[in-house]
Structure 1
Amino acid sequence: EPSPKRGLKVTTASANVLIKGIANDISGIKEVSINSKIVYAQKSGDFWGEIPLTEGMNQVTITATDLVGNKGIQIFEVERMVAKPIIASTNEVIIPVSEKIGKNICLLIGAQNYSDVNIPSLSNPIADAVKLKMILKSTYNFSDENVIQLFNPGTDDVKRQLLELTNQLQPEDNLLIFYAGHGIWVEKEKKGYWLMTDAKRNDVNTWLPNKTVLDLVAKIPSRHTLLITDACFSGSVFKTRGLNDAAPKAIQEMEEKISRIAITSGNDTEVPDESVFMKYLIKALSTNKDKYLTAQKMFINQILEAVMTESKTEPRYGTLELAGHVGGDFIFIKK
């Protein structure tokens, strides 16, 4: 049983702090608490929870309990400073004008009507993509000319569009890619695929490998790239499988650093046509009150537990399996 450890000190101006970490034990982790409050923990050991802070020094005690009852304790301090006037309103941080000059580009891919009778057509991908388009245009800084629609595309259509984005985007631009449609996992190869509408169920050469998508996305010179997929077996796009980063960074720092992030409706499992994930994604973006909303905050606070409560799928957030991520995050900026 490890002894309590002390020594880390964190300083912040926020009234609340989100704490994340990983608890490991050979027997498995039963639960994790922060200041005696049970917080959410995944099977992988990743855990997170938000705690309030009073002004001055706050002691934070994290307790992990394994499956046989042993406890490990980590103690550290968080000092809440009096906020300086860079705060525009609650949880709202001003980003310098120089950080706002890039365009927000959105690529919507909806594969719904399949030509092969062995691949069942779907009912909702295009409607879901349109819902996302409407909220991005009406509430966030996505102009109509910067929203690209690929509805019922073939495999070559998707590859061609991703190649075009390589030439169209500049290093200060941000890119959101959304895919809804069929996905498939080949266990023998340990590979995941997207199925466009010209795919043949019995011909793997007509499928679009996740690796091909990621290779093409890696060439796009955007500052931030967020890939959102609502498809079966979509977890194979990740380099990291969970929330393994350190404590949340300031909005300015996340804006400045390049990011390559994905949010998926499930891991390596099937997901339903009528998507619970999409329901809560749209709800999160529609009801958001913050001027600046990071993809990670949206996922943790409004998507993860809501989806898992209502369905058998576990949505995922993590770093894309490609070069370029250096610690930033995609930020939705309200008009």
Structure 2
Amino acid sequence: MSKHQFNRNFAIILGINKYINGIRELETAVPDAHKLAQIIQKQHQNLKQQYQVQNKYEVQLLLNQRVTLSKLKELIEDFKQGQIPFDKEKVVVTESDRVLFYFAGHGIALEALENQEGPVGYLIPQDATLGDSNTYLPMQELHDALNALPCRHMLAILDCCFAGAFRWASLKREILPKVTVYKERYDRFISDAAWQVITSAADDQKALDSLGQRGKVQDGNEVNSPFAKALFDALRGDTEESADLNKDGIITATELYSYLRDQVEILTENHYKRQTPGLCPLRKHDKGEFIFLLPEFDRDKLEDAPPLIPENNPYQGLESYDEKDSNLFFGRENLIKQLYQHVVSKQQALTVVLGASGTGKSSLMKAGLLPRLRHSQEHQFQILQVMRPGETPLEALAQVCSSIATVITAEVLRASQLGG
């Protein structure tokens, strides 16, 4: 099996409405689970024939009484054994497979334990007892079990209160939502490991599904949670403002998150507290991306990556980046911003950048700060040619300053005349 293809696609979809033991029932978790199963099962049928088999999902739908604590524990044990239960059989997951995990129900976050960073998140099983955390499922257990699966791609989507607490079990990285997908990048998305989690709310937020007045969105005859409504719109690709930012027929997990964040915040802004979805990678995440294909996708229509030539080679070796290389200089945006703010501050007449040899001072100044100063809309700067002190620093400085010597002389004369 080629690393540019998947052998099998599995979807484990959980939804709980009928809670017991003092926990309020929900209204749309089960319909949301049904709808997601329907969409991903039919989605592959709209693709071009050569992509249908590779994108067909085998769905395991677990609802209400099939999502008790004991059954969740059994599911986690199966994940740890590298397998997925399908009715009466258990399927072994391989490196060539892809797994989608979805949970819709109640969630909760409790204060962090001693020596633990961030809140402790729990999924609430169908038979949990209100107030008894021993009957809840720690998100950490789900995190560890998902990481044990040997598949190449895994996407977990959690639509519950405090779902963002899941990220404290993972790493946090910057989100870069919009990139041109060339054939080579698409192949890398498929072949490299992708382990990502999308949550419906931050770690300190209640998903509207669990408020006293349950948040819901009417869409024709369907009633969904705000997060699920946005998720379904994105996957169907039938909205005017598509989750496919690049219009290439591919929705990456990063694009999906960006779309969900914007749409869910709009849908929830008039409620008690705005709901903010999150995205975080799991520990096994590499350079891949979990993707969903839209009907118009055709790999042959993707552009080839531009040839690598000296002018667009981002690797300068031992040479520093110059101002002309600013479009290739990346990864230090926050430092550039801080340095710019420091330079333009009225309290700073002189700014000195110090650091050991080879740490990137010259590149930071020439390819980072100078373009920012030159194109500033707030301040105007007279930027001199970059100089090296050499053996005669004063001569080098005088030569660089010669271009503004006339201006300085005129200003001095005018000042002396005004003073006289």
Instruction: Name the TM tier (shorter chain).
Output: 0.5 to 0.7
Q: Which has the higher contact order (CA 8 A, sep 6+)?
A: 1
Contact 2:6 2:98 survives alignment (8 Å):
no
- C-alpha change, 1:246 and 1:333, in structure 2 (3 Å) is closer
Partner of residue 21, structure 2:
116
Partner of residue 61, structure 2:
149
Match of 2:123 among 194, 198, 207: 194
Contact 1:150 1:158 survives alignment (8 Å):
no
Give the alignment of 1:1-335 within 5 angstroms.
Answer: 99-117=4-22, 119-140=23-44, 143=56, 146-152=58-64, 153-165=67-79, 166-167=82-83, 168-189=92-113, 190-238=119-167, 239-241=170-172, 243-244=174-175, 248=179, 250-268=185-203, 269-273=205-209, 274=216, 275-287=225-237, 290-300=248-258, 302-311=259-268, 312-320=274-282, 323-334=283-294
Contact 1:242 1:316 survives alignment (8 Å):
no
- C-alpha change, 1:237 and 1:327, in structure 2 (3 Å) is farther
Deviation at 1:164, TM superposition (A): 2.8
Partner of residue 302, structure 2:
none
Equivalents in 2 of 1:147, 1:160: separation in Å?
18
Report the RMSD for the aligned CA atoms in angstroms.
2.3
Contact 1:243 1:318 survives alignment (8 Å):
no
Moved over 6 A (4+): none
Equivalents in 2 of 1:195, 1:285: separation in Å?
27
Deviation at 1:242, TM superposition (A): 5.5
Equivalents in 2 of 1:104, 1:292: separation in Å?
17
Deviations 1:261-305 (A, max 9, x none): 0111111210112321111100001126754321111222x3221
Q: Quick one: which amino acid aligns to residue 292 of structure 1?
A: I
Equivalents in 2 of 1:136, 1:188: separation in Å?
36
Contact 2:37 2:61 survives alignment (8 Å):
no
What TM-score does the superposition give when structure 1 sets the normalisation length? 0.65
Q: Quick one: which amino acid aligns to residue 257 of structure 1?
A: D
Deviation at 1:188, TM superposition (A): 4.3
Equivalents in 2 of 1:246, 1:202: separation in Å?
39
Contact 2:3 2:96 survives alignment (8 Å):
no
- C-alpha change, 1:247 and 1:333, in structure 2 (3 Å) is closer
Provide the secondary structure at the position in 2 that maps to 1:99. coil
Greater fraction of residues in strand: 1
Identity of aligned residues (%): 27
Contact 1:159 1:216 survives alignment (8 Å):
no
Equivalents in 1 of 2:6, 2:120: separation in Å?
38
The answer to which of 233-242 and 188-197 deviates more is 233-242
- C-alpha change, 1:154 and 1:216, in structure 2 (3 Å) is same
Deviation at 1:247, TM superposition (A): 7.5
Bigger Rg, which one: 2
Contact 2:208 2:275 survives alignment (8 Å):
no
Partner of residue 410, structure 2:
none
Unaligned 5+ segments in structure 2 are 45-51, 84-91, 114-118, 210-215, 217-224, 239-246, 269-273, 296-420
Deviations 1:209-237 (A, max 9, x none): 00000111111111111000100001121
Q: Quick one: which amino acid aligns to residue 265 of structure 1?
A: S
Equivalents in 1 of 2:285, 2:30: separation in Å?
30
Equivalents in 2 of 1:246, 1:228: separation in Å?
18
Q: Quick one: which amino acid aligns to residue 147 of structure 1?
A: V
Unaligned 5+ segments in structure 1 are 1-95
